[in-house]
Structure 1
Amino acid sequence: MAIMRTGFLGIIVSIYNIGCLLGCALNFFYGAQFGRRQAIWIAMGCIIAGAILQTSAFSVAQLMIGRIITGMGVGIDTSTVPTYQAELCKADRRGRLVTTEVLFTGLGVTIAYFFDYGMSFVDGPLAWRFPIACQIIFAFVIIILIFGLPETPRWLIQQGRVDEAVEVMSKVFNAPNTDPFIVAEKEAILNAWAGINVIVFYAPTVLETNVGLARNTALVVGGCINLAFVVGSLVPALGSDKWGRKKPMMFGAFGMGLSMMMVAILLSFNGTAKAHTTSQASIAFFLTFMLCFGASLNAIPWCYSAEILPLRVRAQGTSLAVMNNWLWVFVIVMVTPTMIANITWKAYLVFMACNFAFVPMIYLLFPETKGLSLEEIDYLFLKQDRLSLEDAHQQGNSANNSLANSKMEETAQLDMVEKI
C-alpha cells in the first residue's frame, strides 16, 4: 500500500511535467508562426486556465487536468523566453541577461516555499487553493507587460518585415537606424538566414524521510535550501559573460556530483548509532548541491540552447531542448517517491554518477560561445573540426566589415552623384 501511495503521489506531482512536455511540442510545431510575444501570451492564457481548474477542483481528475494545462503554459513559456531574450541582447551582455531570468525563477520558487509554509497553518482547503490561485495574478501581470515589449528583430526579419526589425533595434539599442552597429546587425541577420528535481519538488519529503526532520522543520529547511539555489544563480547572472559557459558548467557538475556523493555517504549511516549526527550533516551538502546547481546547470543551459541554434530553427530547436528537459523532469519526479521509499540513500548515487558523467561530456562536446554574436556562433558549426572562438570572431567581423565597407562605398558614391 505504501508503494501504491508513493506511486500515486508521483503521478499527481509529475503529470504537470507532461503538460510542460506537450507545451514544448506545440511550440516546436507552431511557435515560429506566432512569434515570441504571442507565444508568451498563449502561455499565460494556459497558466490562467489551468490555475482556475486547479483552484476550483473537487476531484483528483480535475486537479490533474488543471496541472496538465498549467504545465502546457509553462512549457511554451520556458521554450520561448530564452529565445526572446537571446535575440534581443548584445553579445557581450547575453549571458548575464538570459541567466538572470532563471535567477528570478529560483527566487520565485523560494518565496513559494515559505508562502506554502505559512499557509500550512491555515485550516481547510484554503491552505492549498489560495497558493494555486496566486499564480493567476502573476500571469496577468506578464500579459500586461508584454504589451510594452517589442517582437525580436530576428523573427521579424525571418518574416520579411525588415523595416520593423530595424525600428526595433533602433529603440532597443537607443541608436538611429543608420548607426553602423544596427546596419551591420541587420545585414548579418539577413545573411545568417540532473538530480535537481528531487530537491526542488520533494525537499520536505526528502528531509523528513531520509534526514528525519519534523514536518515544520523540513518545510523551513527546504525553503532555505532553495534560497541557496537563488544565491548560486547570482554567479552566472553576474559573471557568465566574463567566465564563459563551459567552465562554470563543468565545475558546477563536478561540485553537484561531489555533493550527492557526500549525501549518500552520510545517509548510509541511517539505522546506526551515528544516524542522527550524519543525517543532520547531510543538510550542508544539500545546500552545496543547490549552490553549485544555481551557479552552473540551472541557468547557463537555458542561455546556451537558445544561442547555439541558427535563426531558421531557433524556435523549434529551443522547444526541442526544453521538451527534453521536461521529459526527464517528469521521469525523475515520477520515480523519486518510489526510489526514496525503496533504496533510500542509494538513490543519490544515481544522481552522483550522472553529474560526474556531465563533466567530460561538456568538455568534449560543448563549444564555448562567450562574447560571440548569434551570427558568429553559426561559424562554429561550419566544419567537422569546429572553428575556434578567434576564427569565429574573425569570420563574423570580416563579414560585418565588408558589409559596412560596402555601405560606406554606396554612401560615398551617392554623395559624388549629388555633388555632380
Structure 2
Amino acid sequence: MLSNFCNVHSLQVFLIVGPAFILYGYNQSGLSSLLTLPDMLKYLPQVGSSTIKGVVNATLQLGALVGALSCSKLGDILGRRRTIFIAGILTTIGHILQCTSFSLAQFAVGRVILGFGIGQLSVTGPVWQSECSFSDKRGRRVIAAGIYICVGFALATLPTLFSLMITFSIFTLPESPRWLIQMGHIEEASKTLAWLNDLTVDDPSIQLEVARIESAIEAAPKAPLKDLFSKQDEASIIIQFMQQLVGGNVIATYTKTIFETNLQLKGDLPAILAACSRYASTSYGASIAAAIAMFLPNGFLVVVYATWSS
C-alpha cells in the first residue's frame, strides 16, 4: 500500500483532506468567472438572467446541504472510506455533467450532484482525519486543513483532478478506528491505530486509546437527526447562519460580475481583481496567512514540514 512508504497522516492531508477542501473552495467561487464568458452565454443564454444565475449558483449549496446531512447515516453504515469514495465519484460525475452541458437542466443537475459530493467530503473528511488521530494532535490536524479552502478559492485548474485523486487514493489509507470499534472490529481498530502512530498493537497508549473510544461510543446518545435542531444547539446553528448572512459567499461568487457591471472594468482586470479579493475577503483568516506563506520563498516548505511533522 502507498501509505507504507510515507507518513500516513501526511498522505491523509495531501491525497484526501487537502483535495476535498480545495474542491470546496474552488466550486464555491469557481463559477463566478464562468458565468460571464461569451461561450457560456452562447450555449446557456439563460444564465444572462440574474434570477437564473442565482438559482444555478444555489443548486450547489442545495446539493451540499443534502450531502452533508446524509453523512449522519451513511458514515456509520458504510464507513468513512466508502463514504469518501462515493463522494469522490459524485464530484467527478458532477464536473463531467457540467463540462458537457448543452442545456441549463443538465448543468443544474451537475451542480446538484457536485454539491452532494462536496457536502459529503466536507463532513466525512475531517471526521475521518480526526478519528485517525490521537486526541492531543487532533485539533491541529483538522484546523490546518482549512489552508486548502483558500487554495481552492484562487486555483484555476481542472477540479476533476482532485476528485479523481480522492477516489483512487482513499482505499490506500486506513479506515477510521472509531468506526471499526463501533462495528465491533476491535482487533482491526487496534492494528490501524498502531499503524497510524508507528507503534505496536501491545503498546499501552494504543490499548488506552481503544478503551477511550469504546467508552465514548457507549456514552454517546443515539439521537435522531431532528435532535440536531434542538434548543441546545440553537446557538451554534444561529452562529453558522449569521456567518453566511454576512455575504462572504455571495461576494466570492459574483465578484467578477460586480467589477464588470458596476465598476465598468474591462479586459482581464476584473478576473485578476476577483482572484485577489478572494484572498482578502475569505472568512478563514488563519488559513489566509498559511496560504500566502506557501507562495513566499521557502514558505511552501514550511507548510509542508508543519503538516508532515504533525
TM-score, structure 2 as length reference: 0.64
Compared with structure 1, are the counterparts of its residues 174 and 202 closer, same or farther at alpha carbon in structure 2 (3 Å cutoff)?
A: same
2:153 to 101, 109, 127: 109
Amino acid at match of 2:287: S
The equivalent residue for 1:191 is 215
Q: What SS is found at the alignment partner of 1:92?
A: helix
The equivalent residue for 1:225 is 277
Compared with structure 1, are the counterparts of its residues 56 and 234 closer, same or farther at alpha carbon in structure 2 (3 Å cutoff)?
A: closer
1:175 to 196, 199, 218: 199
Measured after TM superposition, the shift of residue 234 of structure 1 is 5.3
Measured after TM superposition, the shift of residue 92 of structure 1 is 2.8
Amino acid at match of 1:177: V
| 1:65 maps to 2:109 | yes
Deviations 1:185-214 (A, max 9, x none): 111111111222023212212334455543
Measured after TM superposition, the shift of residue 94 of structure 1 is 2.0
Task: For 2:118 and 2:288, locate their aligned partners in 1 and report how far apart those are by CA, in whole Å.
Answer: 23
Compared with structure 1, are the counterparts of its residues 175 and 235 closer, same or farther at alpha carbon in structure 2 (3 Å cutoff)?
A: farther
Task: For 2:250 and 2:185, locate their aligned partners in 1 and report how far apart those are by CA, in whole Å.
Answer: 45
Superposition map of 1:262-277 within 5 A: none
2:76 to 27, 32, 35: 32
Structure number with bigger Rg: 1
Q: What SS is found at the alignment partner of 2:49?
A: helix
1:84 to 128, 151, 154: 128
Superposition map of 1:339-418 within 5 A: none
Task: For 1:150 and 1:8, locate their aligned partners in 2 and report how far apart those are by CA, in whole Å.
Answer: 43
Q: What SS is found at the alignment partner of 1:89?
A: coil
Q: Quick check: 1:204–1:215 contact (8 Å CA) kept in 2?
A: no
Identity %: 34
Measured after TM superposition, the shift of residue 142 of structure 1 is 1.3
| 1:159 maps to 2:183 | yes
Q: Quick check: 1:44–1:139 contact (8 Å CA) kept in 2?
A: yes
Q: Quick check: 1:204–1:218 contact (8 Å CA) kept in 2?
A: yes
CA RMSD of aligned residues (A): 2.2
| 1:55 maps to 2:99 | yes
Task: For 1:92 and 1:211, locate their aligned partners in 2 and report how far apart those are by CA, in whole Å.
Answer: 49
Q: Quick check: 1:208–1:215 contact (8 Å CA) kept in 2?
A: no
Task: For 2:168 and 2:119, locate their aligned partners in 1 and report how far apart those are by CA, in whole Å.
Answer: 20
| 228-237 or 36-45, larger mean C-alpha shift | 228-237
Amino acid at match of 2:182: Q
The equivalent residue for 1:142 is 166
Measured after TM superposition, the shift of residue 137 of structure 1 is 2.3
Q: Quick check: 2:134–2:209 contact (8 Å CA) kept in 1?
A: no
Deviations 1:125-183 (A, max 9, x none): xxxxxxxxx33222111122212210011110000000000000001111111212111
TM-score, structure 1 as length reference: 0.48
**Number of residue pairs matched?**
214
Compared with structure 1, are the counterparts of its residues 236 and 99 closer, same or farther at alpha carbon in structure 2 (3 Å cutoff)?
A: farther
Amino acid at match of 2:100: S
